[in-house]
Structure 1
């Protein structure tokens, strides 16, 4: 058995969490900044369909899993992803109510997912899932290890993203373990999937942000000005994406495993606060308080 698969309780599904998401959330909930808000809105908009794609890609290999701990991890991973889909579907309805083209964007995503599922092998779809899971496992690194990053964000939306980021870290190795110990995906295929996923993620981040800002009524020139003005926030020395670019590249190393990257230093603070209160808002506050 792969010695990385050892703790049967490393993944904790937390279900039916109430974040208090409602119409009182400001349109530009991230420090009253349209661009930052729509980057995050565009990212989360695709989570429900993305989670379904991930579960679909793992499903063909579940019957081949002989290790009981890995089988439990896959089950708990599926439960966590299901809850993420429910919470972000709720948030998507708030975006619809703002007049955002949610259904149009989800339709494009479904077509893209279906293209991958029908044109690529089961192994490559699993490798793509592993690559996308590596990205989401680094969300906490980009947004919650430094206090100033989420300054001014609505506390309810911030709590939603913090919970999602925490659980992505917990199950960060599941798909990789299925990919390496069950599907026997080669290093070349794993690396190719990561390169492809990186290009897709980058392209989609800009496209979805632009679509949402266009729906807000911003002109083409205004949107381009916003994009260039926010490049330091995204890719500067302390940018939210550049802060973990090295960890993305680490995925391409032979012998890499997701557990080579430790969980963020303030992960225990979220866990302890949530176990004590059952409140994702208070848990998020503890996470931020322990940030650098």
Structure 2
């Protein structure tokens, strides 16, 4: 997505709508390598799923630390809706992660390690302002991936529609609340530009390293030896970073965050957002809505 596609006014953004009790059929016969029958592509998305339960809890906690300072009624409502959406994301990804645990992935260890990092180490060494700045940066990265990945139909073309639907729903709601942490950061906490971009630099290093570590654990669980893992990484990194690959088209969106006058709603939501919403409201079927969102990509 072009980072120069601007909404005319911040208030024109889409509403935040918490959705509950969606059925993605995650207890069905989903293949181990549900994305293109490819271990690297599948495990990239699987590794991100393992981060969400504790990560979403961290986001909620970081924003709530400023809840009493939020005086604007609209922002208060958006914080409440943001909290409800993130809590639902945690719940659904826990269900998905149960599949991974059944495959031998040490979900309990990953959860413990993330919980210690987010809720024991970080509170000792960082301020609530730093944690909120990290949350705003991670929310931008999440919205970036949600928007840019679902714009490109070929990326998820051969993925299992049930898992794709889960990520489509998650993407839609991340886009809806992408500005909440940022607005609390800049309007309530009044964090400086320097702290904002420094946090983005830090999470831009820490996030991919964490995902890579979890992926490597998954490859070992899958029985890949050292040489096989090297081949997986070589092929996978080319898929990530080749011209037109997974990440180069997201760079405009990413670097928009470094603009002094940046705001998340200056970068428009995914063009196919309305197609997901229209389909879900008409059918109540999250999988049909996910298929519609995917089909609307370019």
**TM-score category (smaller protein):** over 0.9
After superposition, the C-alpha distances for 1:140-187 in whole angstroms (9 at most, x for unaligned) are 233211111002111100000000011000000000000000000110
Between stretches 93-102 and 243-252, larger displacement belongs to 243-252
- Which of residues 27, 36, 39 in structure 2 aligns to 1:34? 39
Q: Is this contact kept in 1: 2:179–2:263, CA < 8 A?
A: yes
Structure 1 stretches lacking a partner, 5+ long: none
Distance 1:283 1:186 in 2: 39
Normalising by structure 1, report the TM-score.
0.96
Superposition map of 1:261-276 within 5 A: 261-276=267-282
1:242 correspondence with 2:248: yes
After superposition, the C-alpha distances for 1:85-137 in whole angstroms (9 at most, x for unaligned) are 00000011111111111111122111221312221000000000000000111
Q: Is this contact kept in 1: 2:13–2:265, CA < 8 A?
A: no
Q: Is this contact kept in 2: 1:146–1:291, CA < 8 A?
A: yes
Distance 1:265 1:8 in 2: 13
Normalising by structure 2, report the TM-score.
0.94
> Who is 1:51 aligned against?
56
Q: Is this contact kept in 2: 1:8–1:69, CA < 8 A?
A: no
1:53/1:117 Cα in 2 relative to 1: closer, same or farther (>3 Å)? same
Q: Is this contact kept in 2: 1:19–1:280, CA < 8 A?
A: yes
1:62/1:8 Cα in 2 relative to 1: closer, same or farther (>3 Å)? farther
Structure 2 stretches lacking a partner, 5+ long: 1-7
RMSD (Å) for aligned C-alpha atoms: 1.5
> Who is 2:102 aligned against?
97
Distance 1:46 1:260 in 2: 28
List, as ranges, runs of 4+ consecutive aligned residues in structure 1 with deviation greater than 6 Å: none
Structure showing greater relative contact order (alpha-carbon pairs closer than 8 Å, 6 or more residues apart): 2
- Which of residues 279, 285, 289 in structure 1 aligns to 2:291? 285
> Who is 1:15 aligned against?
20
Q: How many equivalent pairs are there?
A: 290
> Who is 2:5 aligned against?
none
Q: Is this contact kept in 2: 1:143–1:149, CA < 8 A?
A: yes
Partner of 2:146: helix, strand, or coil?
helix
